[in-house]
């Protein structure tokens, strides 16, 4: 997978300035090293989903329960749990969805390691790694989302834009639930005391699946974000 150069530049606050050959070389070196040393990993799991006015309730899918039945011969299972995610914004995002996919993804520790290393020897490079890592994880998650879209499409589902803890009123404290549901340790992602993910270039998100096409087409964009003075805000365009 290739790191998106345009996105990297956007994260670096690029506004069409001349890029001299030296900067060009640093960008190339970072892309090569980061692509070589990163090992993107992800984990996804599908749930039954029900959105109320101010919360989303997740339950196991019937075919997952069946999956457990099929493990060995012990046939009784009581897999009837539910998890409630309280957030009006999330509930609005998932309104009408019958299913939801939870995902966690990371590009691994290489970016963090490189940032530490280059903070000592070459701060410009460290800043580029920071930006390239952000671009990398975003495109990786886009790729996973495309895969989810293809699979969901086969079953007649359409996707809502992905939504992560920390967006709007969806508290970052729900990272804990993502970690419980997905067992993120399997891809090496950990949480700090303050609920920050490490490696830092990691993403958790929930994607709603709906069978109604009309409700699905709003595209994820910066326009939904409240931080209107953000330096990295994408201009709305017609594409």
Partner 1 sequence: MNFLERLNTELLFFDGAMGTMLQKQGIQPGELPEIWNMTKEEVILQIHKSYLEAGCDILKSNTFGINPYKMKNCGYTCEALTAKGIQLARRAIAETGKEAFVALDIGSLGKLLEPLGDLPFEEACNAFVPVCIAGEQAGADLCLIETMNDTYEIKAAVLAAKEHTSLPVIVTMVFDENGKLLTGGDMEAAVALLEGLRVDAIGLNCGFGPDVMKKFLPKLREITSLPIVVNPNAGLPVVVNGQTSFLVKPEEFASVMKEIAKDGASILGGCCGTTPEHIRALTEACRGMRPLQVTEKNRSVVSSYTQAVVFDSHPKIIGERINPTGKSRFKQALRENDLEYIYKEALVQQEKGAHILDVNVGLPEINEAEMMEKVITGLQGITGLPLQIDTSDIAAMETAMRIYNGKPLINSVNGKQESMDAVFPLAAKYGGMIVCLTLDENGIPDTAQGRIEIAEKIIREAAKYGISKKDLLIDTLTMTISTGQENAGITLDALHYVRHTLGVHTTLGVSNVSFGLPQREKVNTAFFTIALSKGLSAGIINPNSAAMMDAYYACCALNGSDLQCSNYISYFSALPAQSAVSVQSAAQLTLFDAVVKGLAESAGKAAEQELKSKEPLAVIDEDLIPALDQVGQGFENKTIFLPQLLMSAEAAKAGFEAIKEHLKAKGTVSEAKGVIVIATVKGDIHDIGKNIVKVLLENYGFQVIDLGKDVAPERVVEAAREYQARLVGLSALMTTTVANMELTIRMLNQELPECKVMVGGAVLTQTYADMIGADFYSRDAMGSVRYANELFA
Q: Which of residues 96-125 bind partner 1 (CB under 8 A)?
A: 108-110, 112-113, 115-117, 119-125
Which one of 56, 100, 159, 181 is in contact with partner 1 (CB under 8 A)?
Answer: 181
Interface residue with partner 1, options 190, 213, 221, 234 (CB under 8 A)? 190
Q: Which is nearer to partner 1, 89 or 119 (CB)?
A: 119
Position among 2, 17, 214, 237 found at the interface with partner 1 (CB under 8 A): 17
> Is 115:129 a contact under the CB 8 Å cutoff?
yes
Question: Which of 100, 44, 54, 85 minimizes the C-alpha distance to 173?
Answer: 85
Q: Please, is 24 exposed, middle or buried when counting C-beta atoms within 10 Å of its C-beta (0-12, 13-18, 19+)?
A: exposed
Q: Which of 154, 194, 219, 238 binds partner 1 (CB under 8 A)?
A: 194
- Count of residues near partner 1 by CB under 8 A: 80
**By CB under 8 A, is residue 209 in contact with partner 1?**
no
| Interaction between residue 196 and partner 1 (CB under 8 A) | yes
Q: Which is nearer to partner 1, 45 or 149 (CB)?
A: 45
CB of 156 to partner 1, least distance (A): 19
Q: What is the DSSP string of 111-159?
A: HHHHHHHHHHH-HHHHHHHHHHHHHHHHHHHHHHHHHHHHHHHHTT-EE
Residue 42, burial from CB neighbour count under 10 angstroms (0-12, 13-18, 19+): buried
Q: Which is nearer to partner 1, 71 or 238 (CB)?
A: 71
Q: Which residue has the tokens 């931080």?
A: 227
**Segment 149 to 168, residues that bind partner 1, using CB under 8 A:** 166
Among 34, 85, 137, 144, binds partner 1 (CB under 8 A): 144
13 binds partner 1 (CB under 8 A): yes
Cis peptide before 199 (omega within 30 of 0): yes
Give 23 or 95: the residue with its C-beta nearer to partner 1: 23
| CB nearer to partner 1: pick between 55 and 215 | 55
Place of tokens 């952000």: 134
Contact 156, 211 (CB under 8 A): yes
Taking CB under 8 A as the criterion, the residue among 81, 235, 237, 239 binding partner 1 is: 81
Positions 25 through 64 that interact with partner 1 (CB under 8 A) = 26-27, 37, 39-45, 64
CA neighbor of 170 nearest in space, from 206, 202, 134, 142: 206
- Tell me the C-alpha distance between 224 and 162, whole Å: 12
């Amino acid at each position: 997978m290739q790191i998106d150069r345009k996105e990297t530049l956007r994260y670096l606050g690029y506004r069409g300035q001349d890029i001299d050959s030296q900067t060009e070389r640093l960008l190339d070196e970072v892309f090569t090293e980061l692509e070589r040393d990163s090992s993107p990993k992800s984990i996804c799991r599908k749930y039954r989903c029900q959105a109320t006015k101010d919360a989303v309730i997740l339950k196991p899918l019937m075919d997952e329960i069946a999956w457990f039945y099929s493990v060995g011969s012990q046939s009784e299972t009581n897999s009837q749990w539910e998890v409630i995610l309280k957030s009006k914004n999330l509930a609005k995002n998932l309104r009408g969805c019958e299913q939801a996919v939870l995902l966690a993804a990371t590009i691994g520790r290489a970016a963090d390691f490189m940032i530490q290393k280059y903070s000592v020897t070459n701060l410009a490079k460290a800043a580029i790694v920071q930006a390239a890592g952000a671009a990398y994880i975003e495109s990786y998650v886009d790729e996973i989302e495309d895969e989810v879209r293809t699979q969901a499409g086969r079953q007649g589902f359409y996707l809502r834009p992905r939504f992560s803890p920390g967006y709007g009123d969806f508290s970052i404290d729900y990272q804990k639930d993502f970690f419980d549901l997905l067992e993120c340790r399997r891809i090496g992602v950990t949480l700090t005391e303050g609920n920050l993910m490490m490696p830092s270039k990691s993403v958790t998100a929930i994607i709603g699946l709906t069978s109604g096409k009309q409700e699905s087409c709003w595209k994820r964009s910066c326009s939904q974000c409240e931080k209107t003075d953000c330096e990295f805000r994408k201009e709305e365009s017609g594409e």
